[in-house]
A = this chain, B = another copy of it.
Amino acid sequence: MRAVYVEKPHSYEVTDMPEPEPGPDEVLVRVKACSFCGSDTHLIEGKMPGVIYPLIPGHEWTGEVVSTGELVEEFSPGDRVATESHAGCGRCRNCVRGFYTICENYGRKPLHRQIGMTANGGFAQLCAVPVKLLHRLPGDMPFTTGTLMTTAGTAIVGLETCGIETGDRVLIYGAGAIGLLTMQFARFLGAGDVCIVDTLPSRLEVAKKLGAEITVHAGTEDLDMILAERGWKGGADLAVEAAGVGALQAECIRRVRRGGRVLLLGITAGEEPPAPLNRFSLDQLTLYGIRGEGDYSVERAVRAYESGRIDSSPINTHVFQLEEFEKGFEVFSGKKDNAIKVVLEC
Protein backbone atom coordinates (compact mmCIF):
# COMPACT_ATOMS: atom_id res chain seq x y z
CA MET A 1 0.00 0.00 0.00
CA ARG A 2 0.99 3.63 -0.36
CA ALA A 3 1.64 5.48 2.88
CA VAL A 4 3.45 8.41 4.42
CA TYR A 5 6.52 7.15 6.18
CA VAL A 6 8.18 9.37 8.77
CA GLU A 7 11.50 7.79 9.55
CA LYS A 8 12.47 10.44 12.04
CA PRO A 9 11.83 14.16 12.55
CA HIS A 10 12.04 16.15 9.28
CA SER A 11 12.44 12.95 7.25
CA TYR A 12 9.31 11.77 5.50
CA GLU A 13 8.13 10.44 2.14
CA VAL A 14 5.16 8.82 0.43
CA THR A 15 6.23 5.29 -0.30
CA ASP A 16 5.20 1.61 -0.48
CA MET A 17 4.60 -0.04 2.86
CA PRO A 18 3.43 -3.50 3.89
CA GLU A 19 -0.30 -3.81 4.50
CA PRO A 20 -1.34 -4.07 8.14
CA GLU A 21 -3.12 -7.17 9.39
CA PRO A 22 -5.91 -6.80 11.89
CA GLY A 23 -5.74 -8.67 15.21
CA PRO A 24 -8.73 -10.58 16.58
CA ASP A 25 -10.45 -7.47 18.01
CA GLU A 26 -9.32 -5.16 15.24
CA VAL A 27 -10.72 -3.82 12.00
CA LEU A 28 -8.87 -3.27 8.75
CA VAL A 29 -10.03 -0.02 7.16
CA ARG A 30 -9.54 1.33 3.65
CA VAL A 31 -8.66 4.91 4.53
CA LYS A 32 -10.61 7.44 2.48
CA ALA A 33 -9.53 10.73 3.99
CA CYS A 34 -7.06 11.88 6.62
CA SER A 35 -6.55 15.45 7.83
CA PHE A 36 -3.62 17.33 9.33
CA CYS A 37 -3.72 18.27 12.99
CA GLY A 38 -1.44 20.79 14.68
CA SER A 39 0.20 17.91 16.51
CA ASP A 40 1.20 16.43 13.14
CA THR A 41 3.28 19.54 12.58
CA HIS A 42 4.92 19.01 15.94
CA LEU A 43 5.43 15.33 15.05
CA ILE A 44 7.17 16.08 11.80
CA GLU A 45 9.29 18.76 13.42
CA GLY A 46 10.25 16.48 16.29
CA LYS A 47 8.52 18.56 18.93
CA MET A 48 5.67 16.27 19.94
CA PRO A 49 6.39 14.49 23.22
CA GLY A 50 5.80 10.73 23.23
CA VAL A 51 5.97 10.03 19.49
CA ILE A 52 7.59 6.70 18.53
CA TYR A 53 9.46 6.80 15.20
CA PRO A 54 9.49 5.46 12.53
CA LEU A 55 5.79 5.90 11.98
CA ILE A 56 2.91 6.39 9.58
CA PRO A 57 1.25 9.53 11.05
CA GLY A 58 -2.41 10.55 10.85
CA HIS A 59 -5.00 10.32 13.60
CA GLU A 60 -7.98 12.15 12.11
CA TRP A 61 -9.35 9.95 9.40
CA THR A 62 -12.30 8.13 7.89
CA GLY A 63 -12.66 5.09 5.71
CA GLU A 64 -14.49 1.95 4.74
CA VAL A 65 -14.23 -1.36 6.55
CA VAL A 66 -12.31 -3.99 4.55
CA SER A 67 -12.31 -6.87 7.00
CA THR A 68 -12.71 -7.58 10.68
CA GLY A 69 -10.93 -9.73 13.25
CA GLU A 70 -12.65 -12.83 14.53
CA LEU A 71 -13.95 -11.14 17.69
CA VAL A 72 -15.48 -8.15 15.94
CA GLU A 73 -19.27 -8.09 15.58
CA GLU A 74 -19.94 -4.38 15.42
CA PHE A 75 -18.89 -3.73 11.81
CA SER A 76 -19.04 -5.39 8.42
CA PRO A 77 -17.10 -4.84 5.22
CA GLY A 78 -18.27 -1.66 3.48
CA ASP A 79 -19.28 0.15 6.67
CA ARG A 80 -18.21 3.77 6.70
CA VAL A 81 -16.33 4.77 9.86
CA ALA A 82 -14.85 7.68 11.79
CA THR A 83 -12.13 7.22 14.43
CA GLU A 84 -10.66 8.03 17.79
CA SER A 85 -6.90 7.80 18.22
CA HIS A 86 -6.22 6.81 21.84
CA ALA A 87 -6.28 3.05 22.43
CA GLY A 88 -5.37 3.00 26.11
CA CYS A 89 -3.95 -0.08 27.79
CA GLY A 90 -7.43 -0.85 29.12
CA ARG A 91 -6.11 -1.96 32.47
CA CYS A 92 -4.43 0.90 34.35
CA ARG A 93 -6.41 2.96 36.84
CA ASN A 94 -7.10 5.73 34.35
CA CYS A 95 -8.13 3.47 31.46
CA VAL A 96 -10.38 1.27 33.58
CA ARG A 97 -12.17 4.36 34.88
CA GLY A 98 -12.67 5.77 31.38
CA PHE A 99 -9.79 8.26 31.24
CA TYR A 100 -7.84 6.45 28.54
CA THR A 101 -6.35 9.55 26.93
CA ILE A 102 -4.20 9.85 30.05
CA CYS A 103 -3.31 6.16 30.16
CA GLU A 104 -0.65 5.46 32.76
CA ASN A 105 1.05 3.18 30.25
CA TYR A 106 1.16 5.79 27.47
CA GLY A 107 3.76 4.84 24.89
CA ARG A 108 4.58 1.44 26.38
CA LYS A 109 4.19 -1.07 23.57
CA PRO A 110 2.33 -3.32 23.14
CA LEU A 111 0.12 -2.38 26.09
CA HIS A 112 -0.82 1.03 24.75
CA ARG A 113 -1.21 2.60 21.33
CA GLN A 114 -2.11 6.04 20.08
CA ILE A 115 -2.85 5.68 16.39
CA GLY A 116 -0.70 8.04 14.35
CA MET A 117 1.53 8.86 17.34
CA THR A 118 2.94 5.62 18.74
CA ALA A 119 1.45 3.24 16.13
CA ASN A 120 0.80 3.53 12.41
CA GLY A 121 -2.00 5.89 11.44
CA GLY A 122 -4.20 7.10 8.65
CA PHE A 123 -1.94 8.83 6.12
CA ALA A 124 -2.00 5.52 4.23
CA GLN A 125 -4.31 3.47 2.09
CA LEU A 126 -5.02 0.99 4.86
CA CYS A 127 -5.04 1.12 8.61
CA ALA A 128 -5.84 -1.53 11.25
CA VAL A 129 -7.19 -0.42 14.62
CA PRO A 130 -9.01 -1.85 17.67
CA VAL A 131 -12.75 -1.89 17.09
CA LYS A 132 -13.36 0.34 20.11
CA LEU A 133 -11.81 3.26 18.20
CA LEU A 134 -14.34 3.18 15.38
CA HIS A 135 -17.71 4.87 15.12
CA ARG A 136 -20.17 4.73 12.26
CA LEU A 137 -19.89 7.80 10.04
CA PRO A 138 -23.12 9.84 9.98
CA GLY A 139 -25.39 8.87 7.10
CA ASP A 140 -24.46 10.86 4.06
CA MET A 141 -21.50 12.76 5.49
CA PRO A 142 -18.57 12.92 3.02
CA PHE A 143 -15.38 11.15 4.09
CA THR A 144 -13.50 14.45 4.01
CA THR A 145 -15.92 16.14 6.42
CA GLY A 146 -15.91 13.03 8.56
CA THR A 147 -12.26 13.58 9.46
CA LEU A 148 -13.54 16.37 11.72
CA MET A 149 -15.29 13.88 14.04
CA THR A 150 -12.08 13.31 16.01
CA THR A 151 -11.55 16.98 16.77
CA ALA A 152 -15.26 17.43 17.41
CA GLY A 153 -14.87 14.74 20.06
CA THR A 154 -12.22 16.83 21.78
CA ALA A 155 -14.47 19.89 21.76
CA ILE A 156 -17.33 17.83 23.17
CA VAL A 157 -15.41 16.19 25.99
CA GLY A 158 -13.91 19.55 26.90
CA LEU A 159 -17.27 21.29 27.08
CA GLU A 160 -19.00 18.39 28.82
CA THR A 161 -16.25 18.36 31.44
CA CYS A 162 -16.45 22.04 32.34
CA GLY A 163 -20.17 22.20 31.63
CA ILE A 164 -22.23 24.66 29.64
CA GLU A 165 -25.12 26.32 31.43
CA THR A 166 -28.14 27.52 29.49
CA GLY A 167 -27.33 30.83 27.86
CA ASP A 168 -23.67 30.96 28.94
CA ARG A 169 -21.34 33.64 27.64
CA VAL A 170 -18.33 31.84 26.20
CA LEU A 171 -15.06 33.46 25.14
CA ILE A 172 -12.75 31.46 22.89
CA TYR A 173 -9.17 32.33 21.94
CA GLY A 174 -8.14 30.81 18.63
CA ALA A 175 -10.29 30.23 15.51
CA GLY A 176 -8.43 27.19 14.22
CA ALA A 177 -10.25 23.88 13.86
CA ILE A 178 -10.47 23.14 17.60
CA GLY A 179 -11.54 26.69 18.42
CA LEU A 180 -14.19 26.72 15.71
CA LEU A 181 -15.57 23.34 16.70
CA THR A 182 -15.62 24.37 20.36
CA MET A 183 -17.52 27.47 19.31
CA GLN A 184 -20.05 25.42 17.38
CA PHE A 185 -20.51 22.84 20.13
CA ALA A 186 -20.76 25.48 22.84
CA ARG A 187 -23.76 26.78 20.93
CA PHE A 188 -25.07 23.26 20.26
CA LEU A 189 -24.89 22.61 24.00
CA GLY A 190 -26.78 25.72 25.03
CA ALA A 191 -24.44 28.72 25.16
CA GLY A 192 -26.19 32.01 24.55
CA ASP A 193 -23.42 34.23 23.28
CA VAL A 194 -20.08 33.03 21.94
CA CYS A 195 -17.20 35.37 21.21
CA ILE A 196 -14.17 34.10 19.30
CA VAL A 197 -10.87 35.96 19.01
CA ASP A 198 -8.15 35.46 16.38
CA THR A 199 -5.53 37.35 14.45
CA LEU A 200 -6.58 36.07 11.02
CA PRO A 201 -9.56 37.82 9.45
CA SER A 202 -10.22 34.86 7.16
CA ARG A 203 -10.73 32.57 10.14
CA LEU A 204 -13.08 35.07 11.77
CA GLU A 205 -15.08 35.03 8.55
CA VAL A 206 -15.46 31.28 8.84
CA ALA A 207 -16.40 31.66 12.52
CA LYS A 208 -19.18 34.06 11.57
CA LYS A 209 -20.43 31.70 8.88
CA LEU A 210 -20.49 28.85 11.42
CA GLY A 211 -22.61 30.83 13.86
CA ALA A 212 -20.35 32.84 16.19
CA GLU A 213 -22.33 35.69 17.71
CA ILE A 214 -19.21 37.84 18.16
CA THR A 215 -15.87 37.75 16.35
CA VAL A 216 -12.98 39.92 17.42
CA HIS A 217 -9.80 40.63 15.51
CA ALA A 218 -7.02 40.46 18.08
CA GLY A 219 -4.80 43.12 16.63
CA THR A 220 -7.23 45.85 15.80
CA GLU A 221 -10.42 45.52 17.81
CA ASP A 222 -11.08 46.39 21.46
CA LEU A 223 -12.33 43.24 23.17
CA ASP A 224 -13.27 45.06 26.38
CA MET A 225 -15.46 47.56 24.60
CA ILE A 226 -17.11 44.97 22.39
CA LEU A 227 -18.02 42.72 25.33
CA ALA A 228 -19.23 45.67 27.40
CA GLU A 229 -21.54 46.76 24.61
CA ARG A 230 -22.81 43.24 24.36
CA GLY A 231 -23.66 43.28 28.07
CA TRP A 232 -21.02 40.84 29.32
CA LYS A 233 -20.90 42.40 32.76
CA GLY A 234 -18.26 40.87 35.01
CA GLY A 235 -16.63 38.71 32.37
CA ALA A 236 -17.24 35.45 30.57
CA ASP A 237 -18.97 32.49 32.20
CA LEU A 238 -16.43 30.28 30.43
CA ALA A 239 -13.17 31.14 28.68
CA VAL A 240 -11.47 28.62 26.39
CA GLU A 241 -7.87 28.63 25.23
CA ALA A 242 -7.72 26.94 21.84
CA ALA A 243 -4.64 28.57 20.37
CA GLY A 244 -1.85 26.92 22.31
CA VAL A 245 -0.31 30.17 23.56
CA GLY A 246 0.80 30.52 27.17
CA ALA A 247 -0.07 34.19 27.48
CA LEU A 248 -3.61 33.45 26.33
CA GLN A 249 -3.97 30.70 28.92
CA ALA A 250 -3.26 33.31 31.57
CA GLU A 251 -5.55 35.80 29.83
CA CYS A 252 -8.44 33.33 30.06
CA ILE A 253 -8.05 33.33 33.84
CA ARG A 254 -8.37 37.12 33.83
CA ARG A 255 -11.40 37.17 31.55
CA VAL A 256 -13.95 35.10 33.49
CA ARG A 257 -16.47 36.38 36.01
CA ARG A 258 -16.40 35.58 39.72
CA GLY A 259 -17.31 31.91 39.90
CA GLY A 260 -16.38 31.40 36.24
CA ARG A 261 -14.67 28.48 34.52
CA VAL A 262 -11.60 28.20 32.29
CA LEU A 263 -10.96 25.40 29.80
CA LEU A 264 -7.51 24.76 28.34
CA LEU A 265 -7.57 22.83 25.07
CA GLY A 266 -4.48 24.15 23.29
CA ILE A 267 -1.06 22.59 23.81
CA THR A 268 1.87 24.98 24.12
CA ALA A 269 5.56 24.23 23.73
CA GLY A 270 5.84 23.87 27.50
CA GLU A 271 5.61 27.56 28.31
CA GLU A 272 5.16 28.57 31.94
CA PRO A 273 3.35 31.90 31.65
CA PRO A 274 2.95 34.20 34.67
CA ALA A 275 -0.60 33.44 35.77
CA PRO A 276 -2.99 35.32 38.10
CA LEU A 277 -3.54 32.24 40.27
CA ASN A 278 -4.72 34.40 43.17
CA ARG A 279 -8.02 34.81 41.39
CA PHE A 280 -8.87 31.16 42.04
CA SER A 281 -9.30 31.59 45.78
CA LEU A 282 -10.46 35.20 45.69
CA ASP A 283 -13.08 34.70 42.99
CA GLN A 284 -13.70 30.97 43.24
CA LEU A 285 -12.74 29.98 39.72
CA THR A 286 -12.25 26.48 38.30
CA LEU A 287 -9.80 25.49 35.58
CA TYR A 288 -10.13 22.36 33.45
CA GLY A 289 -7.82 20.75 30.93
CA ILE A 290 -8.61 18.03 28.43
CA ARG A 291 -6.26 15.68 26.61
CA GLY A 292 -7.72 14.78 23.24
CA GLU A 293 -11.11 13.34 22.45
CA GLY A 294 -11.59 10.30 24.74
CA ASP A 295 -14.68 9.39 26.80
CA TYR A 296 -16.22 7.72 23.72
CA SER A 297 -16.97 11.24 22.56
CA VAL A 298 -16.72 10.58 18.83
CA GLU A 299 -19.92 8.57 19.10
CA ARG A 300 -21.62 11.65 20.54
CA ALA A 301 -20.11 13.82 17.82
CA VAL A 302 -21.65 11.51 15.25
CA ARG A 303 -25.05 11.79 16.92
CA ALA A 304 -24.82 15.56 16.95
CA TYR A 305 -24.10 15.76 13.23
CA GLU A 306 -26.81 13.20 12.50
CA SER A 307 -29.31 15.64 14.00
CA GLY A 308 -28.69 17.90 11.01
CA ARG A 309 -28.45 20.90 13.32
CA ILE A 310 -24.72 21.42 12.95
CA ASP A 311 -22.49 21.61 9.89
CA SER A 312 -18.74 22.07 10.19
CA SER A 313 -17.72 21.38 6.61
CA PRO A 314 -16.43 24.94 5.94
CA ILE A 315 -13.58 24.16 8.34
CA ASN A 316 -12.15 21.81 5.72
CA THR A 317 -10.70 24.43 3.44
CA HIS A 318 -8.41 22.27 1.29
CA VAL A 319 -8.39 18.77 -0.14
CA PHE A 320 -5.34 17.10 -1.73
CA GLN A 321 -4.38 13.54 -2.65
CA LEU A 322 -2.24 11.25 -0.49
CA GLU A 323 0.64 11.56 -2.93
CA GLU A 324 0.54 15.33 -2.37
CA PHE A 325 1.35 14.95 1.34
CA GLU A 326 4.23 17.43 1.21
CA LYS A 327 2.15 20.10 -0.48
CA GLY A 328 -0.72 19.55 1.92
CA PHE A 329 1.63 19.78 4.86
CA GLU A 330 3.07 23.08 3.63
CA VAL A 331 -0.34 24.63 3.01
CA PHE A 332 -1.55 23.48 6.42
CA SER A 333 1.47 24.32 8.56
CA GLY A 334 2.02 27.65 6.76
CA LYS A 335 -1.69 28.53 6.93
CA LYS A 336 -1.35 29.34 3.23
CA ASP A 337 -4.31 30.42 1.19
CA ASN A 338 -6.41 30.83 4.36
CA ALA A 339 -6.07 27.15 5.16
CA ILE A 340 -7.69 25.82 8.31
CA LYS A 341 -8.10 22.04 8.00
CA VAL A 342 -6.28 20.39 5.09
CA VAL A 343 -7.44 16.89 4.15
CA LEU A 344 -5.77 14.25 2.02
CA GLU A 345 -7.86 11.74 0.07
CA CYS A 346 -6.05 8.42 0.50
Binding site for B on A (CB under 8 A): 25, 49, 71, 73-74, 90-91, 93-94, 96-102, 104, 110-111, 130-132, 156, 160, 164-168, 185, 187-190, 192-193, 213, 234, 246, 249-250, 258-259, 264-268, 270-291, 295-297, 299-304, 306-307, 309
With a cutoff of 8 Å between Cβ atoms, the chain B residues found around residue A266 in the complex are 281
With a cutoff of 8 Å between Cβ atoms, the chain B residues found around residue A273 in the complex are 274-275, 277
Interface centre among A168, A283, A287 (most CB of B within 10 A): A287
Of B96, B99, B167, B306, the residue contacting A302 (CB under 8 A) is: B167
Looking at the assembled complex, report how far the CB atom of A112 sits from the nearest CB atom of chain B, in whole angstroms. Answer: 11
A90 close to B90 (CB less than 8 A): yes
Looking at the assembled complex, report how far the CB atom of A177 sits from the nearest CB atom of chain B, in whole angstroms. Answer: 15
A295 close to B190 (CB less than 8 A): no
B277 close to A246 (CB less than 8 A): yes
With a cutoff of 8 Å between Cβ atoms, the chain B residues found around residue A188 in the complex are 166, 190
Taking CB as reference atom, which chain B residue is nearest A96? B296
B289 close to A284 (CB less than 8 A): yes
Of B167, B187, B279, the residue contacting A289 (CB under 8 A) is: B279
B300 close to A167 (CB less than 8 A): yes
Looking at the assembled complex, report how far the CB atom of A232 sits from the nearest CB atom of chain B, in whole angstroms. Answer: 11
Jot down 8 A-B pairs with beta carbons below 8 A, ordered by A: A93-B299, A94-B258, A96-B100, A96-B295, A166-B304, A272-B277, A273-B274, A285-B289
**A310 to B213 Cα, complex, angstroms:** 15
